[in-house]
Amino acid sequence: MSNRQAEIAAALDVVPPFADDAALNAEIERRKTFIKHVLKQSGLKVLVLGISGGVDSLTAGRLAQLAVEELRTETGDSAYRFIAVRLPHNAQHDEQDAQDSLKFIRADEDDTVNIAGAVNGLGEQVTHLQKLTDARRDFVVGNVKARIRMVAQFAIANANNGLVIGTDHAAEAVMGFFTKFGDGACDLAPLSGLVKNQVRAIARHLGAPQHLVMKTPTADLEELRPGKPDEEAHGVTYAEIDAFLHGEAVSDEAYATIVRTYDNTRHKRELPLVP
- Binding site members for Mg(2+): 56, 172
Alpha-carbon distance 28 to 249, whole Å?
27
Asked if 232 is an active-site residue, the reply is: no
Q: How deeply is 172 buried, as exposed, middle or buried, from its count of CB atoms within 10 A (0-12, 13-18, 19+)?
A: buried
SS3 assignment, position 111? strand
DSSP state of 130: G
The distance from CA 68 to its chain's CA centroid, rounded to whole angstroms, is 19
Catalytic residue from among 27, 108, 172, 220: 172
Asked if 56 is an active-site residue, the reply is: yes
Alpha-carbon distance 89 to 223, whole Å?
10
Closest CA to 5 of 172, 166, 241: 241
Alpha-carbon distance 102 to 129, whole Å?
35
State the binding site for ATP: 50-57, 167, 196, 218
CB 246 within 8 Å of CB 7 = no
**Strands (DSSP E) along 45-118, which ranges?**
46-50, 81-86, 109-112
Alpha-carbon distance 195 to 198, whole Å?
5
Other C-beta atoms within 10 Å of 206: how many?
16
Residue 257 parent element (H or E): helix 252-264
State the binding site for deamido-NAD(+): 147, 180, 187, 267-268
Catalytic residue from among 27, 56, 100, 220: 56
Active centre residues (catalytic): 56, 172
